[in-house]
Structure 1
Amino acid sequence: MTKDISEMQPDELAKHIEEAQKILQKKKDDELAKLAADISAAIKKSNFSLEEVLEQLGVAPSLGKSNKAASNKKGKVYVNPNNQSETWGGAGRVPGWLVSYLEDVKEIKFDKFSIKHPLIAPELAKLERK
């Protein structure tokens, strides 16, 4: 018979929480390792390299930890094609004009905006200030 956690003392609860967190992390690590192995196997079966797949996804290979400030280190600025005075630097809240452009003009639907999204990245490239 298992003990009801609501009856446990704080130190006993903390011990169970710590144990559960370790189990959870192990399961996540195992799942990630399996996913990586599956992707690796699929790439090996294909005629494409990992770099080509990542490029198609709009993701650059990571060479270490990045920070948000470094993500726009090239100084990219995206310009509203209907109003050149409206720009966006690629960080922070996405301006309404860009959401409207992507959803209405280009019919791109997305739940979570990402400048690396495979459908969004090419459209953003068109809006870059040259």
Structure 2
Amino acid sequence: MAAINYDKMSVKELSDIIARAQKALNAAKERERSEIKQKITTLAETAGFSVGELFGQRGRGKSVTVKYMNPDNRAETWTGRGRKPNWLVAKLSKGAKITDFAV
């Protein structure tokens, strides 16, 4: 791989490289996090437990049912409480209807 001479790059070029690297870093972190969560879940289920049994349930009360889901990324959901998530706001601004994302 050829060496990159950062000293001769413009501010814009350097900013673009940093932005792309940060995006790649965030994606790698999320990928690793997802893989670890899956390994823990599989290990717990193999032993006959749920993750909730081993580590306790998250939250303070009863869980809230998901009402809306991003069709492009099914991991992104919204219960209808609090602020609308960015993915939903973006799709609504493009003319979609909230009912399009109902579960």
Q: With the length of structure 2 as denominator, give the TM-score of the two structures.
A: 0.51
Identity %: 23
Q: Which residue of 1 aligns with 2:16?
A: 15
Query: CA shift at 1:28, angstroms?
Result: 0.5
- Aligned equivalents of 2:58, 2:50: Cα separation in 1: 12
Structure 1's consecutive aligned runs of 4 or more residues displaced over 6 angstroms after TM superposition are none
Structure 1 gaps, min length 5: 65-130
Query: CA shift at 1:8, angstroms?
Result: 1.3
Whether the aligned pair in 1 keeps the contact of 2:40 and 2:51 (CA below 8 Å) is no
Letter paired with 2:44: I
Matched, 1:34 2:35: yes
Q: With the length of structure 1 as denominator, give the TM-score of the two structures.
A: 0.41
Aligned length: 60
Question: Given the alignment, which residue of 38, 58, 66 partners 1:61?
Answer: 58
Structure 2 gaps, min length 5: 65-103
Query: CA shift at 1:26, angstroms?
Result: 1.1
Q: CA RMSD in A?
A: 1.9
> Which fold has the larger relative contact order, with Cα–Cα distance below 8 Å and residues 6 or more apart in sequence?
1
- Aligned equivalents of 2:16, 2:24: Cα separation in 1: 12
